Amino acid sequence: MIIKDEGYVLSARKYGEKSLIVVLFTKNKGKITGFVSDGTNKKNRGLFQTGNKLFFEASARLEENMRRLFRLELLEPNAVNMMTDVNKLKLMTAVVPMFTRLLNENEDVALFYDILGKFFKATSLKDMLMRYAFFEFYALDYLGIGLSLDCCAVTGQTEGLCYVSPKTGKAVCREIGAPYADRLFQYPHFVVDNNENPSYEEIFNVLKMTEFFLFEHFFKFHNLPLPKSRANLWQFFASVSDDE
């Protein structure tokens, strides 16, 4: 069976002398792993940089088998954008392991394809962090850890939602949550409202919340450590401001 598709390079590792094992997040098949027989030759050397968007053809006898990738063509050289900014390169390196760890093979998830594309094409560090926050937020629902954010868990009201309980994953309104604010997460207004111009503080608060729920309900559940690079994500907020 031969497929034609496009996708973003998540990783590539050498296999033998000339071959590569490449992980792509594709438009129609989600995350796939493929084998490139001549991946290290001079012609292909620049194709398999993380973030690049490729067109490819792939073949496999069965859907669950590793595909052989061929007729590869570079569509977007997004890696160049990262290579010219050390902070963007560090951030990409920090979070790409989360893309590969959280997403299953052969699941068509168009939302993530769109988010990953915007992440890799982001023009600023802040935009990258914002796109990544959207990814982790939607990954909670994808993994069955969806939060209940439509109304206050105590009063049922839909206005004035300010907090999220770490115990229940449910929203809490201002008057109920204010006395316990130091124990609650901030309500993720910008992702719920699909606002693409949040402050650094808002992005920080969302990622603080998503890290907690991902660790408690995914990594701990599967007896896995949180990737070290993700645990160090906070360094990117240490010296930035919304004036940049």
Cβ atoms 210, 136 nearer than 8 A? yes
pLDDT digits (tens, 9 = 90+) for 141-190: 999 998 999 999 999 999 999 999 999 999 999 999 999 999 999 999 99
For 47-86, give the DSSP string.
TTSTT-EEEEEEE-SSTTSPEEEEEEEEEE-HHHHHHT-H
Cα-based angle 10, 11, 12 (whole degrees, multiple of 5):
145
Task: For residue 203, give Cα distances in angstroms to 4, 33, 72.
Answer: 36, 31, 36
pLDDT for res 179: 96
Mean pLDDT of 215-233: 93
pLDDT for res 64: 56
Residue among 64, 13, 102, 42 at smallest CA distance from 23: 13
Taking the alpha carbons of 123, 124, 128, 131 in that order, is the dihedral positive or negative? negative
Model confidence band, residue 40 (pLDDT cutoffs 50, 70, 90): confident
Alpha-carbon gap, residue 235 to 231, rounded angstroms:
9
- Give the distance, in angstroms, between the CA of residue 126 and the centroid of all CA atoms in the same chain: 15
Predicted TM-score of the model (pTM):
0.92
- What the block records as the tokens of 11 is 């990783």
